[in-house]
Each structure stands twice: as structure tokens, then as C-alpha cells.
Amino acid sequence: EIILSTSEGKVVVRGKEFVLTTVQPTEVHLQGWIKQLSFEEN
């Protein structure tokens, strides 16, 4: 599970075999099997 907090709420990514790679200070790449993607408002 990966949770990203934003000013509007949270982005939640659930899955398996995630590989998170930093490309630039403001950019990341995510690889793996995504089973669920959701947004939870504040």
C-alpha cells in the first residue's frame, strides 16, 4: 500500500510487487500490480 498526502486529500494505491523509482525531485515512477486506486478527500 502506498499513501500520498496532498492538500486536497490522500491518494491510496494498493497492490503488490511495487517498485518506486525517483526520477527527479518532483517525479517518481511506480511499477507493479495495481489492484486498487482511490482518493480520500480531507
Q: How many domains does one find in the chain? A: 1
Give 32's Cβ-side CA count (13 Å radius): 17
pLDDT of residue 38: 98
pLDDT of residue 23: 95
pTM given for the model:
0.73
- What is the domain range of residue 28? 2-41
pLDDT of residue 7: 95
pLDDT of residue 25: 92
1-42 residue pLDDT tens: 999 999 999 999 999 999 999 999 999 999 999 999 999 999
